[in-house]
Structure 1
Amino acid sequence: MDHTTPEIPSFTLLSSTTPDGTEVAPQQLVEGLGGENLSPDLQWSGAPEGTRSFAVTCFDPDAPTGSGFWHWVAWDIPADVGSLPLGVPRDSSSLRQAHNDFGTQGYDGPEPPAGPPHRYVFSVHALPVESLEVDPESPHIGARFAIFSQQLASASLTAHYQVTD
């Protein structure tokens, strides 16, 4: 039985503060690493017809947890929006945000243990619904399930960060 995820279409995602393939910008890092803990600016275009909202995720697949680490899960971004500014507030009324794996609502930046570099995958997901109808107080797995099971297309950029001894 094949358990691979089907290929889905892509569109364009850019960030001026954290471009694809670069090191995570200093302001995106947690304060303990000298950062400001601000989500990066994101701009996207080319989402498919039928898109009625967007969701944004940030995932570290290299976290030593066996299942990665979710830094940001946000959704119910209206279809006519094509960008998010630097530093989306945790209490923003323009989208819904789950509690991340740090246990706080909204975005929290990289804070990897010393060792090899970690990748941070920022993704925008085009969705066929205006609202996921997910409670932001519930575990983010519910929002992620709704996002990944319905997405029409997604766009990602990957940045990295490393803490050395």
Structure 2
Amino acid sequence: MSLERPVAPDPYELLPAAGSFTVTSTDVTDGDQLALTHVHTSAGGENVSPQLAWSGFPAETKSFVVTCFDPDAPIVSGFWHWIAVNIPASATELAAGAGAGDGSLPGGAFHVRNDMGSNDYVGSAPPQGDMVHRYYFVVHAVDVEKLDVEGATPAVVGFNLAFHTLARAVITPTYRH
């Protein structure tokens, strides 16, 4: 069963221009299908956030925000899988599983509620037989040490990022169930 809809545009092309830097991962590859490790348990996966490392960000970076967004979800707003906020500028990596919501983020970083309603990483689980979904794992270099967004929605975090993002690093694996 395909929902037969057009592919959504790259959501980051719709935002104010920002610089770029590099994000790499030992777990996910741009354009390749996610391993079951990073897929939600409801789709037969293990629901573990992937390892991400970044470099080449602007010298004036004061913190990072890491997000995972699926613009191909069959809803107008897309689907937020992960929002980790206020990661210290000294951090250049999140280990696999850092999205567990168990306090394993560095410094005073915290998770904002995802679209499943939990404060952690939620793996991909597109509808069975749907089109290939893209998962935008983005590291945002931010010009302030802390965004005042505790208890906020992903939309509020995104609104704040529109005014505080110096640069973005993007890696976009896919998944089809």
- TM-score, normalising length from structure 1? 0.91
Q: What's the secondary structure of 2:20's corresponding residue? A: coil
What residue is the counterpart of 1:65 in the other structure?
75
In 2, the alpha carbon distance for the partners of 1:5 and 1:131 equals 21
In 1, the alpha carbon distance for the partners of 2:23 and 2:41 equals 26
Q: Is the counterpart of residue 47 in structure 1 residue 41 in structure 2?
A: no
What residue is the counterpart of 1:37 in the other structure?
47
In 2, the alpha carbon distance for the partners of 1:90 and 1:23 equals 24
Contact 1:14 1:20 in 2 (8 A): no
After superposition, the CA RMSD in angstroms is: 1.2
What residue is the counterpart of 2:11 in the other structure?
none
List aligned pairs for 1:1-165, cutoff 5 A.
5-88=15-98, 89-92=100-103, 94=106, 95-114=109-128, 115-135=130-150, 137-163=151-177
In 2, the alpha carbon distance for the partners of 1:122 and 1:162 equals 17
Question: Once superposed, which parts of structure 1, at least 4 consecutive aligned residues long, lie more than 3 Å away?
Answer: none
In 2, the alpha carbon distance for the partners of 1:62 and 1:106 equals 20
Report the CA distance between 1:7 and its aligned residue.
2.3
Report the CA distance between 1:54 and its aligned residue.
0.3
In 2, the alpha carbon distance for the partners of 1:80 and 1:11 equals 15
Contact 1:125 1:155 in 2 (8 A): yes
Report the CA distance between 1:98 and its aligned residue.
0.7
Report the CA distance between 1:138 and its aligned residue.
2.6
Any stretches of 5+ residues in structure 1 without a counterpart? none
In 2, the alpha carbon distance for the partners of 1:22 and 1:9 equals 25
In 2, the alpha carbon distance for the partners of 1:45 and 1:139 equals 28
Any stretches of 5+ residues in structure 2 without a counterpart? 1-13
Contact 1:73 1:144 in 2 (8 A): no
In 2, the alpha carbon distance for the partners of 1:76 and 1:34 equals 31
Q: How many residue pairs were aligned?
A: 159
Q: What's the secondary structure of 1:6's corresponding residue? A: coil
Percent of paired sites with the same residue: 43
Contact 1:72 1:106 in 2 (8 A): yes
Q: Tell me which amino acid in the other structure corresponds to 2:132.
A: P
